[in-house]
């Protein structure tokens, strides 16, 4: 009799425990993991055929062989960013040529070095070069000016033919057209100085959320901003603060453009302490930022981003759940004990 009574009590406690866990489930926010839906990456670009490869760069001096007339870029995409035939993906131009109120396609935008949309235009069509055996994109330019800096931005969102994969990041190909500058300014590949410095890309991007607390902020500009002639000035052109105005100490990192010329347009901002979870920050870039050629940014730039987190972490949720379960079980056990007396 005593044993049966004990078994019944154990059974009741077990039922109470299961019930408590079920109740707790209503209070714990469910964590969903978004599936990665097969994003694709930009592989490479070639000029007027498949033999001359263009550099993926925001520096127009890296591609100086583009003719002002008859230039065609062939763009290839793949699963891993390589141009290997097995990795290449069939791409459709259908999502590239959406109207965005300008003369450019919404996902393939041509700008001058200053960043403004131009009177020059681009058109995008499908092409299947025999060398690749996959459908690629041909970008044809109209009305390019000689000896002028341009930037072609291939934006994220370009899809494959079946729509199941898409580009997940912007790609910039800056270039300089051949010919002679109308100002007669030789000695610089015919490129006119005087165009403002532009921020070509940033990581994180403006408005980005869920940025890592230990993130390094990487910036790429349209011109050389690290040369020793402007470095001291430019080191003072960056600041980081919270959305409430609290200043965050930072270290501005610039490469030696003589030792690492490929990093002459790059600046890294390193916060001197871990950023606060759930907090919004503003990276400010002064218009006084200057290039080696003497051009300035000419406008204030602010990049806003938010650090990931801010809520309870998984460990805290688990501990809180265990405590709540213990309290519920204890309370129910006391009630049952009183009823059995």
Domain boundaries, the chain: 38-195, 197-313
CATH topology for 197-313? Immunoglobulin-like (2.60.40)
Point out the residues of the chain with pLDDT beneath 50: 2, 29-37, 98-105, 182-192
The helix-helix angle for 314-340 and 2-25 (nearest 10°) equals: 140
pLDDT of residue 225: 93
Burial class, 90, CB count within 10 angstroms (exposed 0-12 / middle 13-18 / buried 19+) = middle
What are the CA-CA distances from residue 193 to residues 197, 230, 270 (Å)?
A: 10, 16, 31
Residues 306, 208 contacting (CB under 8 angstroms): yes
In sign, the C-alpha dihedral spanning 264, 40, 105, 98 is negative
What are the CA-CA distances from residue 155 to residues 41, 95, 152, 201 (Å)?
A: 11, 11, 9, 12
Burial class, 65, CB count within 10 angstroms (exposed 0-12 / middle 13-18 / buried 19+) = middle
Which CATH number is associated with domain 38-195?
2.60.40.1220
- Bridge partners, residue 40, by sequence: 167
pLDDT of residue 10: 57
pLDDT of residue 306: 94
The yes-or-no answer to whether 38-195 and 197-313 have a common fold is: yes
pLDDT of residue 274: 94
**Helix (H/G/I), strand (E/B), else coil: 256:** coil
pLDDT of residue 101: 35
284-303 exposure pattern, b = at least 16 Cβ within 10 A, e = fewer: ebbeebbbbbebbbeeebeb
In sign, the C-alpha dihedral spanning 113, 114, 115, 117 is negative
pLDDT of residue 270: 96
């Amino acid at each position: 009799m005593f044993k049966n009574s004990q078994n019944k009590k154990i059974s009741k406690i077990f039922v109470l425990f299961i019930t408590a866990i079920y109740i707790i489930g209503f209070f714990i926010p469910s964590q969903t993991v978004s599936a990665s839906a097969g994003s694709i990456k930009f592989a490479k670009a070639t000029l007027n055929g498949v033999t001359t490869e263009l550099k993926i760069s925001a520096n127009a001096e890296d591609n100086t062989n583009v003719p002002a007339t008859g230039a065609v870029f062939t763009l290839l995409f793949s699963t891993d960013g390589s141009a290997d035939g097995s990795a290449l993906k069939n791409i459709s131009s259908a999502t590239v040529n959406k109207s965005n109120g300008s003369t450019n396609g919404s996902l393939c935008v041509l700008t001058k070095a200053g960043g403004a949309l131009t009177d020059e235009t681009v058109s995008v069509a499908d092409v299947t070069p025999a060398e690749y055996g996959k459908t690629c994109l041909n970008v044809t330019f109209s009305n390019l000016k000689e000896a002028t800096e341009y930037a072609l931005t291939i934006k994220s969102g370009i899809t494959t033919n079946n729509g199941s994969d898409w580009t997940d990041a912007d790609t910039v190909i800056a270039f300089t057209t051949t010919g002679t500058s109308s100002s007669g300014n030789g000695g610089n590949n015919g490129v006119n100085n005087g165009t403002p410095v532009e921020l070509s890309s940033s990581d994180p991007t403006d408005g980005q959320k869920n940025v890592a607390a230990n993130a390094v902020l990487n910036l790429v500009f349209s011109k050389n901003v690290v040369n020793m002639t402007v470095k001291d000035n430019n080191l003072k052109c960056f600041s980081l603060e919270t959305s409430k105005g609290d200043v965050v100490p930072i270290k501005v990192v610039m490469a030696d453009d003589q030792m690492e010329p490929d990093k002459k347009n790059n600046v890294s901002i390193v916060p001197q302490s871990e950023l606060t979870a759930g907090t919004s920050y503003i990276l400010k870039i002064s218009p006084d930022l200057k290039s080696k050629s003497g051009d300035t940014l000419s406008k204030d730039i602010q990049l806003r981003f938010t650090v990931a987190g801010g809520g309870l972490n998984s460990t805290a949720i688990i501990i809180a759940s265990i405590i709540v379960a213990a309290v519920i079980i204890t309370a129910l056990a006391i009630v049952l004990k009183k009823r059995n007396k």
